[in-house]
Amino acid sequence: MQNGHTGSPELTVPAIEDLEWMYSLMLEAKGADEAAAAEARQGKLQAALYPVRGLEGVCAALGVAMTDDDQMISSYRNLGDALACGIPLRTIIAEAYGRLGGTSKGKGGTMHLTDNERGLITTTGVVGSGLPMAVGLALAAQLDSSRSENAARAIVVTFGDGATSIGSAHESFNLAALWNLPLVFVCQNNQWGEHTAIDAYAANPNLAERVRSYGMHAEAVDGFDPMATWRTLSSALDRARSGGGPSFIECKTYRLTGHSGLSDYSYVPSDDLSAALERDPGPTMRRWLLENGYVSEARVSELETAAENTISEAFAFAQSSPPPDPSELLDDVYASKEGFPVR
């Protein structure tokens, strides 16, 4: 991670600058989601979009809890996670436009962001597939720290509640516990797997309870409460770094929009949705910051203006970034092009 933050779980709340950073991340994630959807609606952006709405607090908490050395594997719903790693919004948006200025030169798209320097190792479009890879990345971290004096690093893998239905997720829980890996499974539980509610697909929707039986620390936290989430994630990451093994943290939120950028979500029970919107993490954090005197009204406005500017600058950058040259088509399939078919 290169967001400049260091996890400090002994504090009950993060430092003021971290609180401001968290609030800004939440604003950027929500604003960028909305701007991208608007562009897509007008046909100006041809990309699958997976809004973070509802998870902003979890992503913000992750960003502060992770240190610069920690690494992450995320999914298609990755914009907030990428910001948590400290990746500039402009390169995330440029990737959505398929432009050279994107994290992956425009060859990955929204589901495939990579920024190795900032610790976002890969993001997968296949539900649940990040978990086995995270087991290996955590194994690498464990072996590295057993061989060197360098500070131990923790690995984070983020995924939705629906991913806990996938078989290899369970292989991964078992293996992480068996090998005592420095791995934190961050389940971003938004209560929906695509268009199916958790109660309709899980006989026991208490995911932390299910995973606890694999022999690792597992707990649920209110993902609409960024401070509680930050504390829980920080101690899980600490446990991982200090050899205490893996954790499963179920961050309970609610999906505040459709599954994908433009998808219908009229089926979401309106009572549930409005109850969840009452707890919308952005406005909740704003109130909390002001009520507790962490920041002034003026400073909040400054942060909001700055976030708007970051978003418009990111879209302008993306739109003016050139597309990859046609010669790029055949690059990066293998380390070298020599000897491989072109068709």
Partner 1 sequence: MTSTEVTNTQGAADEKKMSIVAALNSALDIALTIDEKVLIMGEDIADPIGGVMKATKGLSDKHGVDRVRATPIVEQTIVGSAVGAALGGYRPVAEIMFMDFLCQAMDQIVNHAAKTRYMSGGHSSTPIVVRAMIGSSNFGAQHSQALEGWFMHTPGLKVVMPSNPYDVKGLLLSAIFDDDPVVFIENMSMSYSVTGMVPTGDYRIPIGEAAVVREGSDVTLITYGAEVHTSLAAAEALAGDIDVEVIDLRSLVPLDISTCLRSVQKTKRAIVVHGSTQFCGPGAEIAIQLTDALWGELAAPVARLGASYTPVPFAAELQSIPTETSVIAAVQVLAEQG
Ligand X SMILES: Cc1ncc(C[n+]2csc(CCOP(=O)(O)OP(=O)(O)O)c2C)c(N)n1
In the complex, the residues that contact partner 1 under the rule CB under 8 A are 71, 73, 102-109, 112, 114-116, 121-122, 124-126, 129, 131-141, 143-144, 146-147, 167-168, 171-172, 174-175, 178, 331-335, 338-341
Token output for 133: 């890879």
* Chain Cα centroid distance, residue 38: 22
Q: Which is nearer to partner 1, 174 or 284 (by Cβ)? A: 174
Question: What does the block give as tokens for 183?
Answer: 């791995």
Q: Pick the stretch among 34-42, 59-67, 96-104, 156-164 that binds ligand X (CB under 6 A).
A: 156-164
The nearest distance, CB 29 to ligand X, in angstroms, is 14
Nearest to partner 1 of 138, 318 (CB atom): 138
Using CB positions, name the residue nearest to ligand X: 160
* Residue 129: CB atoms within 10 Å: 19
Q: How far is the CB of 154 from partner 1 (least distance, A)?
A: 12
* 63 interacts with, out of partner 1, ligand X, none, CB within 5 to 8 A per kind: none
Q: Cα 61–62–63 angle (5° rounding)?
A: 90
CA 183 – CA 172 distance, rounded (Å)? 10
Please give the Cα distance from 64 to 1 (Å, whole number): 10
User: From the list partner 1, ligand X, none, which binds 124 (C-beta under 5 to 8 Å, kind-based)?
Assistant: partner 1
SS3 130: helix
Site string for ligand X, 279-308 (x = CB under 6 A): ------------------------------
Q: Which 3-state string (H, E, C) describes 214-259?
A: CCCEEEEEECCCHHHHHHHHHHHHHHHHCCCCCEEEEEECCCCCCC
Quick note: the x/- pattern for ligand X over 158-197, rule CB under 6 A, is -xxxxx--------------------------x-xxx---
